Structure 1
């Protein structure tokens, strides 16, 4: 079986062939083939829908990989797995996938896996007794490794007794782990005392993790270089809305913070130069959502696809499940209905976009 044939196979099939023979394994594990496959996957990005739930005592994690170009039931790849055989009720909160892999955390439990193959592995428990934890998942291209960054937050007792809460809570512990056999969490130093926003997801781009935080009582963009393992902080523009809320997204290859006002436009703050802290603002005015989809749903901004379409998902989970794609150039919405996702009222659903499938075996 040659490379041309292997390139046409789905990731699950390649993962199984990895164990079929030494010859196939040598091809599949070759870095040139890996990069060739990832390059192709990146040009055929997909939606990834994570559903945790099911009937009582039969809780499962289901992943639906959906073609962005043809989001029909016939183009769905589905994988079901039990993430924690000893805790069927545990729900893992996932960070956005990176190069085909995904990382989920529940408390101090962390799992990394391949949603295309259903293979997941436990990482060592996070070394902390704190509950307010932010975890960010990323890939270090310099050393060709995946890493997880975890931070915990504590509030000073003196502040709690005075009734002063979130503002004075600072990230106390910063830990990183390299995904691989026999790896352990390592404490690292951060020279910028900050409070991460636990409700906001971090993202990884070009070997750097980004997440939103409060630094010197101002909303800021924190970054963590996966190769050097150094932190940095970038000031945000003095904009009242931006200081209060925002969603961190990739947009046209640049780090962008998007804010969606109720019944208003979407403000896109694009980081043009991280060293000079130069931000450019673009405003996208969308037709009123209530006029198109009624008052039954309120929507949240989730990101921007590689083709420029903006993604909005209902805050409450609809049945059948759907989300919206808005094209700013044409001013048109696409309603993507995923009618074969069977879910119950208490199920947890996460949606990720521009997902590149991988056959990687952990």
Structure 2
């Protein structure tokens, strides 16, 4: 093997690098106390620091530490004269301690984001997509989705086997008429998703078509979620509402039947309830039905009913009608009001103790046209894209 000569300039940089004189353990200990945005900037201060910060082992250590301190993540797309995309991170135990990171995206494109996965987040507007780290404000553009159709579902996830992130996109053929050439009426259930595409984040990223053996149609306006190497989303399969799963390793689809419940076949959204895939449905009497997937292979479900609190005298309102918007990893339920957004606030309810805590987010919600998304159990990452 041919020996590689070391550059004298490189040696000079190492000699002048003050961090070379510090033990790595001490440097890592200091870095672990810093916010992700500061760590991302420090990689330019020293070559030695950069090697540590970009090391996968350090990134995993930082993520393991952050996972013990989950946070709320709020996405705000501000229109008007000050068009921007801003992320606001709040500790769940100290929600008044805000960390704001602003990022200038395409000013006229209100990106809709999927739930964050291991500190990263994916946003889409039409066929344009971005993936980024909201804790550092660094975003990169993905190639455009290969389609001219508008009805698109995108789900973001992580494949632990190869340590890579992937995005799944599906589209639906937009038909101008619901009549076939033979004159038969085509129902909504007969129209299926097409163009199943996957992209792996990396240097040579591009969209790849993948095969799906189960003709189905995803539900527009519903979010998919990621859990333990699988993506899940609700869809219509054989004219019944079903739960679809996508294995990020094998890139195979699968169908999970839902219980024969009339309300479940019409309503409900996917949530992660104490580590289990759950369909939450807030019924007409305000109670919340939780259908928990106990065993995906055997299609075993269990049902729980939660009664939300009645909130009164909040911001001058005699009664607050609230809706479920998420569940924390601890099992605590997050509710938001149906009307008021100035100031923007939501409620954290403990179903066991029945205690309710109000969480007010200052500085957002003043403009009615602001697009606000709230994510739960966000884990901060120092990963540089």
Tell me, yes or no, whether TM beats 0.5.
Answer: yes
Deviation at 1:163, TM superposition (A): 6.5
2:304 to 278, 282, 293: 282
In structure 2, the partner of 1:174 is 196
Deviation at 1:359, TM superposition (A): 1.2
Contact residue 222 and residue 231 of structure 1 kept, 8 A: yes
Q: Distance in 1 between matches of 2:148 and 2:340?
A: 32
In structure 1, the partner of 2:371 is 348
SS at match of 1:89: coil
Structure 2 stretches lacking a partner, 5+ long = 1-25
Q: Distance in 2 between matches of 1:9 and 1:313?
A: 32
> Structure 1 residues 248-257 or 27-36, which shifts more?
27-36
Provide Cα deviations, 1:304-341, integer angstroms capped at 9, x if missing partner: 10121111223445100011111100112222111232
2:349 to 326, 333, 350: 326
Question: Does residue 103 of structure 1 match 2:127?
Answer: no
Q: Distance in 2 between matches of 1:165 and 1:24?
A: 60
Question: Does residue 313 of structure 1 match 2:336?
Answer: yes
Contact residue 155 and residue 170 of structure 1 kept, 8 A: no
Question: Does residue 114 of structure 1 match 2:133?
Answer: yes
- Equivalent residue runs for 1:249-264 within 5 Å: 249-264=271-286
In structure 1, the partner of 2:228 is 206
In structure 2, the partner of 1:187 is 209
Deviation at 1:53, TM superposition (A): 1.2
- Structure 1 residues 246 and 291: alpha-carbon distance in aligned structure 2, compared to 1, 3 A threshold: farther
Provide Cα deviations, 1:180-205, integer angstroms capped at 9, x if missing partner: 22310001100011110121111101
1:149 to 137, 162, 168: 168
Question: Does residue 60 of structure 1 match 2:84?
Answer: yes
SS at match of 1:242: coil
Deviation at 1:23, TM superposition (A): 1.5
Deviation at 1:297, TM superposition (A): 5.3
Contact residue 138 and residue 209 of structure 1 kept, 8 A: yes
Q: RMSD of the alignment, in Å?
A: 1.9
Q: Distance in 2 between matches of 1:181 and 1:215?
A: 36
In structure 1, the partner of 2:15 is none
In structure 2, the partner of 1:4 is 29
Contact residue 61 and residue 80 of structure 1 kept, 8 A: yes
Provide Cα deviations, 1:189-233, integer angstroms capped at 9, x if missing partner: 000111101211111011111111111111111011111111111
Q: Distance in 1 between matches of 2:188 and 2:334?
A: 30
Deviation at 1:264, TM superposition (A): 2.9
Deviation at 1:157, TM superposition (A): 5.6
2:95 to 68, 71, 77: 71
2:359 to 333, 336, 343: 336
TM-score with structure 2 setting the length: 0.88
In structure 1, the partner of 2:144 is 125
- Structure 1 residues 111 and 65: alpha-carbon distance in aligned structure 2, compared to 1, 3 A threshold: same
Deviation at 1:237, TM superposition (A): 0.5
Q: Distance in 1 between matches of 2:108 and 2:320?
A: 28
- Equivalent residue runs for 1:281-300 within 5 Å: 281-289=303-311, 294=317, 298-300=321-323
Aligned length, in residue pairs: 356
- Structure 1 residues 339 and 291: alpha-carbon distance in aligned structure 2, compared to 1, 3 A threshold: closer
- Structure 1 residues 182 and 253: alpha-carbon distance in aligned structure 2, compared to 1, 3 A threshold: same
Q: Distance in 2 between matches of 1:331 and 1:41?
A: 28
Provide Cα deviations, 1:142-171, integer angstroms capped at 9, x if missing partner: 111111000001255663576655322210
Q: Distance in 2 between matches of 1:194 and 1:6?
A: 47
In structure 1, the partner of 2:61 is 36
Deviation at 1:76, TM superposition (A): 0.6
- Structure 1 residues 253 and 228: alpha-carbon distance in aligned structure 2, compared to 1, 3 A threshold: same
Question: Does residue 243 of structure 1 match 2:265?
Answer: yes
Q: Distance in 2 between matches of 1:90 and 1:295?
A: 38
Q: Distance in 2 between matches of 1:283 and 1:159?
A: 39
SS at match of 1:120: strand
